Structure 1
Amino acid sequence: MACFGNNNEDDIVDTIRAMRIQEEKSYLCRNCYHQSTPLSPSGVAAACSPHEAVTTQTRNVLCDWANKIIDFCSLDRETVEIAMSYVDRFAASAKGKEVLQKSDRFQLLVVTALYVAIKVHETVAISTSQFEKISRNTFTSQDLESMERILLEGLEWKLHPPTSLGFVRSYMELVPSLKMSQAMKDTAFILCKVQTELAVRDSALVSARASTIAFASLLNAFEALGMSDSASGSFTVHCFVSKVANLSLVNKAVFYDQQILAPVQARLHQAIAKQTSVPAFMDASPAPQPCPMTPPSKQGAHSHKTFENTPRSIIGRSL
């Protein structure tokens, strides 16, 4: 029984290889964050002043805030992954040392990165004056514009990182619907999306390649769907893994160093382990809420919302 193939497989493979070159040459990142502030006896992280060094807890809280803003505006959470790529790569650069010493500067960096990511990758833009409102006037338009110039120079204008969810889409195109139904593919994609969103928030995965995160999330999704419980499912997974390995569509070290893939899979697995059933999880997906910045014709019944009642900004308080 031969492993499967698609008519457009060469195009898919070329796309993945191009993304792999990007991630290896231009978008690698090292983890430069301090460990999180120790928990207090109550189990709550101790607050840090605006002038304290940035910790993993600082980054996690700001990432959660960015997701809330994106959800409120009915934008794509993949944009948060792009924004945090800006943040992490800038923080690891020579110009990023200063922002890691003061949490208020790091907060400004995250807000600016989200502003730039939306402007570059979304179909709508949110102006600096609107982001000023989002930050509850903690940062001015001038602050954001100044940090934008610093950010762009620090990133050398590399604003199009291949995302883990982008790799997931391409990897899944290698599995034809004859071997895996479209409904099952859709479910697997949702499970991968949950995991990749968790990975963006997880400071321990800052230095992990997007392709590795995507590959690990897919293996977890296949397991959650019980594909190994049938001969055809096991064969499909085997062929997929073999194809990825033979065509070098993920870092080769993933296949011979268990310290690379296994820890990533373990960290991502918690994103779906809490779900009692896949259908229940899919039904529980929250409906998107329109953003006040979208054109009036798209606002519908929620057009009364303003930035005064956005998810409460963490910018105006200590972390």
Structure 2
Amino acid sequence: MTRSGKLLNLKMKGIRSLPQTTHLRDREEIRDRIGVMMRQEGSTYKCRDYIRRRQVKCFDNSSVLICDQVKGLCYLDHQDDHMVAPSSVDTSCREKMCEWSYRIIDHFHADREIVAVSFSYLDRFLDSCNCDKMSFKLAAMTTLYIATKIYNAREIPMSALAELSRGEYEPKHIAEMERKILLTLSWHVHPPTTQCVMSHLYTIFPNSQPSVKRTVFQRASFFAELSVFHYSFVTRPISAIAIAALLNSMEGLDRSQGSSELQAEFLERVELETDLKYDLHNIEALRDELWEVYGSSQQYKYDAMPFTTPQRSPTPSVIEKSDENLGDSPVCVSYMDRYAA
């Protein structure tokens, strides 16, 4: 279950296409691209545990950015040695806005990876800017707006997002928050995502039936989407999450397709053909956490559970069509507040 004790209203969607890898035939290029993403995740796009940090006393006299409750404007606040950072944002707030973001993205028929980009912006912003709940909602809406503007063919109109707030925010508030976020992030708006790493690892996936490869990638994409939802993954390397998601997605395959053999061969190829460094113990811990989040999703409730392993949860099945979700009207931010209260 989520922190609020409710199921995450997220189901797997059938992917429209597999990663386009025809331009990545050179193994050295794949190795280089993965290497760049690894360096980015450990430097420019790294995020610290900002919620835990603000639940303890501050001892370093450092300055943090505080957001104005209504307009989302930021200003410096110098903490004294024994002052507790005044953040009221917790993991439950983040879960609610992540679920809301996925609902909005599905409603507008956009790629769910945009939510991963949006929350990269949001988490890194909150790592530097301490918001109350009202400003946090505005920041979450704004990062989704920025991400769709950059990565989607059609941006979600600022006026539409303002309307969804039911009067809490106006377009000018979103515009001002956008400026503050971009300045805080130093315009670093092209983060590597778990899905992006998986797309590159897909090129070295063991030779198997096309249907198997497609199923594995669909399932792995859902695990990647779930990792965005849970705060515990914020500080984890996306490359490790990608490996864990792919390994989980191979579980539950028909034994005639050799899921355990696929997992072993995949890990061997990762070691031989990329510069990815990982600890198998940490990967197993990530896999367990992903299964736990999966167990709190509507997908877990939906699945017919045709395959079950002793140690793991039932393997998610793929929903090729999700018209029931896409047809729903997006939920306003105010309603999400009451829903999870």
TM-score using structure 1 length: 0.76
User: What is the distance in 2 between the residues matched to 1:9 and 1:216?
Assistant: 22
Which residue of structure 1 lines up, in the alignment, with residue 306 of structure 2? 277
Question: What SS does structure 2 have at the residue aligned with 1:138?
Answer: coil
Q: Are residue 89 (structure 1) and residue 137 (structure 2) matched?
A: no
Matches within 5 A, 1:64-83: 64-83=99-118
Question: What SS does structure 2 have at the residue aligned with 1:33?
Answer: helix
Query: Does the 8 A contact of 1:194 with 1:271 survive in 2?
Result: no
Describe the superposition over 1:128-160 as per-residue Cα deviations: whole angstroms up to 9, x where unpaired. 222211222211111111111110011111101
Query: Does the 8 A contact of 2:165 with 2:332 survive in 1?
Result: no
Name the structure where helix makes up a greater proportion of residues. 1
Matches within 5 A, 1:7-156: 8-34=26-52, 53-93=88-128, 96-97=129-130, 99=131, 102-156=132-186
Question: What SS does structure 2 have at the residue aligned with 1:25?
Answer: coil
Describe the superposition over 1:30-77 as per-residue Cα deviations: whole angstroms up to 9, x where unpaired. 121259xxxxxxxxxxxxx99970010010011111111111111111
User: What is the distance in 1 between the residues matched to 2:99 and 2:275?
Assistant: 31
Amino acid of the structure 1 residue aligned with 2:306: S
Question: What SS does structure 2 have at the residue aligned with 1:74?
Answer: coil
The Cα shift of 1:283 comes to: 4.0
The Cα shift of 1:24 comes to: 1.9
Amino acid of the structure 1 residue aligned with 2:330: T
Describe the superposition over 1:215-257 as per-residue Cα deviations: whole angstroms up to 9, x where unpaired. 001111122325xx5696544432321232345543x2424xx
Which residue of structure 1 lines up, in the alignment, with residue 228 of structure 2? 200
Question: What SS does structure 2 have at the residue aligned with 1:310?
Answer: coil
Amino acid of the structure 2 residue aligned with 1:269: W
Which residue of structure 1 lines up, in the alignment, with residue 286 of structure 2? 264
Which residue of structure 2 lines up, in the alignment, with residue 296 of structure 1? none
User: What is the distance in 2 between the residues matched to 1:165 and 1:125?
Assistant: 21
User: What is the distance in 1 between the residues matched to 2:325 and 2:259?
Assistant: 37
Which residue of structure 2 lines up, in the alignment, with residue 240 of structure 1? 266
Which residue of structure 2 lines up, in the alignment, with residue 217 of structure 1? 245
Aligned length: 273
Mean Cα displacement is larger for which, 66-75 or 217-226? Answer: 217-226
* Structure 1: tracts of 5 or more residues without a match: 1-5, 36-48, 291-301
Query: Does the 8 A contact of 1:62 with 1:314 survive in 2?
Result: no
Amino acid of the structure 2 residue aligned with 1:277: P
Question: What SS does structure 2 have at the residue aligned with 1:314?
Answer: helix
Query: Does the 8 A contact of 2:166 with 2:332 survive in 1?
Result: no
Amino acid of the structure 1 residue aligned with 2:100: W
Using a 3 Å threshold, how does the CA distance of structure 1 residues 107 and 280 change in structure 2: closer, same or farther? Answer: closer
Which residue of structure 1 lines up, in the alignment, with residue 323 of structure 2? 287
Using a 3 Å threshold, how does the CA distance of structure 1 residues 129 and 232 change in structure 2: closer, same or farther? Answer: closer
Which residue of structure 2 lines up, in the alignment, with residue 188 of structure 1? 216
Using a 3 Å threshold, how does the CA distance of structure 1 residues 144 and 280 change in structure 2: closer, same or farther? Answer: closer
Query: Does the 8 A contact of 1:135 with 1:316 survive in 2?
Result: no
Question: What SS does structure 1 have at the residue aligned with 2:166?
Answer: coil
Query: Does the 8 A contact of 1:31 with 1:88 survive in 2?
Result: no
User: What is the distance in 2 between the residues matched to 1:204 and 1:161?
Assistant: 18
TM-score using structure 2 length: 0.71
Residue of structure 2 aligned with 1:254, choices 262, 272, 279: 279
User: What is the distance in 2 between the residues matched to 1:53 and 1:200?
Assistant: 21
What RMSD over aligned residues (CA atoms) do the two structures have, in Å? Answer: 3.0
Query: Does the 8 A contact of 1:71 with 1:288 survive in 2?
Result: no
Query: Does the 8 A contact of 2:122 with 2:139 survive in 1?
Result: yes
* Structure 2: tracts of 5 or more residues without a match: 1-23, 54-68, 71-85, 308-314
Describe the superposition over 1:261-292 as per-residue Cα deviations: whole angstroms up to 9, x where unpaired. 222110112466633138982246513877xx
The Cα shift of 1:9 comes to: 2.5
Using a 3 Å threshold, how does the CA distance of structure 1 residues 283 and 128 change in structure 2: closer, same or farther? Answer: closer
Using a 3 Å threshold, how does the CA distance of structure 1 residues 272 and 143 change in structure 2: closer, same or farther? Answer: closer
Question: What SS does structure 2 have at the residue aligned with 1:18?
Answer: helix
